[in-house]
Chains A and B, each alone.
Chain A
Amino acid sequence: MHDRAGAGVPSFSIALTGSGGAGVMTAGNMLLEAAAQAGWYGLMVRSSGPQIRGGEAAALLRLAGRPVDCLDDRFDVVVGVDWQNIHRFADEIPLDAGSLMIGDPDQGNPPEVFTKRGVRLAQIPFKRMAKAIPGSWPNMIVLGVAGALVGLSAERLKSVVRNSYKKGGDGLAASLAAVDAGIAALKTLPETPRLGSPSRVEKKPRWLITGNEATGYGAVRGGVRFVAAYPITPATEVLEWLAPALAGVGGTLVQAEDELASINMAIGASFGGVPSLTATAGPGLSLMTEALGLAVAAEVPVVVVDVMRGGPSTGIPAKSEQGDVNIALNGLHGDAPRIVVAPNSIADCLTATQWAVHLSENLQVPAIVLSDQYFGQTRAVVDRPADVSFIGERVLAAPHTESYKRYAITESCVSPMAIPGTPGIAYTAEGLEHNERGIPSSQSGDHIAQLAKREGKLRQHDYGEHWAEIEGEGELAVLTFGSCSGPVREALARAAAEGIRARLVSMRLLSPAQPERLAKALEGVKRVLVVEQNHGAQFHRYLRADFDLPGEVLSFHRAGPLPIRPDEIYRKITEWSRA
């Protein structure tokens, strides 16, 4: 049987749930991989209880024939190996009367919080079926059921299972048999919509990747060769991916004792001439602010990836939120301008990080990459990102430059940097205010000149078209950044299908502000909807402070941990454009 071709729904959302080691994450990953091999797109979000092992777990998948950047508004199917504590995922798994819940009859009924939504129920005895195939596991039965539901062929599913056994281990035959048994059980299920065949217009090269991996790869491509690491949820995977990858290309990763050490190590390495990076989350970024100020004052490039999570303080470590706008833009004492870049998709985590390295190196300034937990830990099938030529390239000073001034005021405000080892131009990098030669100075003239230099070099730089993604036309515009871009884009597509024209501006360069470019992008716009995932409407306030916004401005904002869904934005847009 081949993967099901032909017409079907454009997008299919399925949740696999289970607890106590049921293995739903593994099954979910395999399902995503099989879909990717079959030519589909999709993504998988993981949600778990607080236990390190054996906790309740949910693999939330969305599969589609075209690229998808966010979860849908609802799930079509939930498959539960068991239902222990699964009610805790109720808010994350929206269901309605059209949804189907499949459970094991020996594991009791699905939680009432789900069933009261009027869902259809079906039963497949996963545990019994697995027991009937010695050496197999219920999650492989689930894989068969889920895969067939979606329209994947047995061969496709089994090839993914075979791949997972490449490193050895018995049980391959049993797992394959379990997949077959799951597929066969499909006959007992009520009709469900099947996924439409993937678009065969062009076979683009695609990747299966998480945002954290893409971030790491973007750093390597940008030229980063030194990373200082301190683990923190949800950024640790950036560092764990970089550890072997960097070594492979001749770079180094060092585990530091804390974030104060890691940022200072990175700045030290960068002072030595090596493009450097660290990755952290909110609490770590808070610790790093003093050192970032130093890098601004001493004009040392460094990139800090902030994988945002629920805040404030320890907050909600394993969930996403866009709450670090304030600290990224304003968290340093004194006037300390720096670059802030926000990727707007999982694939863009690569491009945006690479761009951040490039900007940081060229402009000799720290750059903060505002990623978030949703990007960082979601695995997605994406079109291979286009190659971009951004690579870090410092303006270097030549040896024996006569009267070398490290902090010389130049036209571009970027002054050639001396790298230790270069004869005749040694200097001392300074956090104290300094004159052009880098000698500490408390003179007003020097202070103003250097402040103007550090601000001017960012302001004057031409950031090109990358500062934002601008799509569509209309008198209504939606302004957003980061992981809200996905649901906004989808909402706009739905609105467009109903004849409502609206513009998307997803800002990639948050700092320095580009008010003229935004004004141009919003020409003719009468209504601006600002969308963001935090409680204090931080992005909205920033826009009101540093930009001119035309017409009426509405802020749509909500804190994590739940994602903002396309339908919420779609309804906001249609309501407002009809008012």
Chain B
Amino acid sequence: MSRGKATKTSARKTAGRRTMRVRDRKKPVTKPDSIGRADFLARAWTMEVEAAERYAMFADAMDEHNNREAAELFRKLARIEQRHADQLLEENPSSHPPVLSSAGVRWDDGEGPETAAPGDLHYRMQPYHALQIALACEKRANKFFTDVAGSTTDARVRKAAREMAGEEAEHVHLIEEWLRRTPPPDKDWEHDPDPPVVSD
């Protein structure tokens, strides 16, 4: 639960407030000397599954607030992350496949590096914003694996970590490409002239 320094916001403010603030989390990474390969795989798999679950939750929240475009995009991202998790298992068959356990993996920063923070949502957000969130997640994941590769003494873990880092780097490129194909957010995308509503 240690957080190190206060977080820095990487608010990319282009003209007309086109982007939402997406927070970077700069934090110390667990020194994984003692992580064996099985543990490492479980951790990597958990990262993907937790990321998928989080995107699915975002999709539900967007659906409930009538933001179909953002909902669809988050569902796509959820499916992609789940596919990554499935691929991990396929490529690394084991007699004891990892199971998502609440007592299991603890992350330094509270949540997995690839898990998006709920605070970054906005009910009026546009697909571009969702992809910005995804990009930050993939970058963090890439950094996580790079750091593990650089600090572990276990050769097999290092090999696996390098592979993962490479995969995440590819994901980063894919998201960047996706972003290029996606229309930037409208000016005043947050605009909602109606006041909040009471129902209780």
The short answer to whether A and B are in direct contact, CB under 8 Å, is yes
Q: Interface of A with B (CB < 8 Å)? A: 19-26, 46, 48-57, 82, 84-85, 134-135, 137, 139, 171, 233-234, 236, 314, 317-318
Number of A-B contacts (CB under 8 A): 77
**B interface, by DSSP: helix, strand, loop or mixed?**
loop
**Given A19-B66, A20-B65, A21-B123 in contact, is the A52-B197 Cβ separation under 8 Å?**
yes
Given contact pairs A19-B66, A20-B66, A52-B198, enumerate 4 new A-B contacts (beta carbons under 8 Å).
Answer: A23-B193, A233-B199, A317-B198, A318-B199
Of all chain B residues, the one with the shortest Cβ separation from A137 is: B191
**Given A19-B66, A20-B65, A54-B67 in contact, is the A318-B193 Cβ separation under 8 Å?**
no
> How far apart sit A135 and B187, CA to CA, in the bound complex (Å)?
8
B180-200 residues at the A interface, CB under 8 angstroms = 187-188, 191-200
Contact call B194/A21, Cβ cutoff below 8 A: yes
Contact call B198/A233, Cβ cutoff below 8 A: yes
Interface size class of B (residues with CB under 8 A): 10 to 19
Cβ of B139 under 8 Å from chain A: no
Cβ of B162 under 8 Å from chain A: no
B79-130 residues at the A interface, CB under 8 angstroms = 123-124
Contact call A48/B65, Cβ cutoff below 8 A: no
Contact call B195/A25, Cβ cutoff below 8 A: yes
Contact call B194/A25, Cβ cutoff below 8 A: yes
B193 partner residues in chain A, CB cutoff 8 A: 23, 25-26, 137, 139
Q: Interface of B with A (CB < 8 Å)? A: 64-68, 123-124, 187-188, 191-200
A21 partner residues in chain B, CB cutoff 8 A: 123-124, 191-192, 194
Of all chain A residues, the one with the shortest Cβ separation from B198 is: A233
A314 partner residues in chain B, CB cutoff 8 A: 200
Contact call B65/A55, Cβ cutoff below 8 A: yes
Contact call B65/A54, Cβ cutoff below 8 A: yes
Contact call B199/A85, Cβ cutoff below 8 A: no
> How far apart sit A57 and B198, CA to CA, in the bound complex (Å)?
12
Q: List 17 A-B contacts (CB under 8 A).
A: A21-B191, A26-B194, A46-B197, A48-B197, A51-B199, A52-B197, A53-B65, A54-B67, A54-B124, A55-B65, A57-B194, A82-B66, A135-B188, A233-B199, A233-B200, A234-B198, A317-B198
In angstroms, how far is the closest chain B Cβ from the Cβ of A464?
Answer: 38
A56 partner residues in chain B, CB cutoff 8 A: 66
Of all chain A residues, the one with the shortest Cβ separation from B189 is: A21
Of all chain A residues, the one with the shortest Cβ separation from B70 is: A20
In angstroms, how far is the closest chain B Cβ from the Cβ of A154?
Answer: 20
Top 6 A-B pairs, shortest CB-CB distance: A21-B192, A19-B66, A54-B65, A20-B66, A54-B123, A26-B193
A318 partner residues in chain B, CB cutoff 8 A: 197-199
Of all chain B residues, the one with the shortest Cβ separation from A51 is: B65
In angstroms, how far is the closest chain A Cβ from the Cβ of B98?
Answer: 37
B66 partner residues in chain A, CB cutoff 8 A: 19-20, 54-56, 82, 84-85
In the complex, which of the residues A20, A57, A82 contacts B197, with contact meaning CB atoms closer than 8 Å?
A57
Contact call B199/A54, Cβ cutoff below 8 A: no
B195 partner residues in chain A, CB cutoff 8 A: 25
Of listed A20, A84, A233, residue having the most chain B CB within 10 A = A20
In angstroms, how far is the closest chain B Cβ from the Cβ of A48?
Answer: 4
> How far apart sit A233 and B198, CA to CA, in the bound complex (Å)?
7
In angstroms, how far is the closest chain B Cβ from the Cβ of A315?
Answer: 10
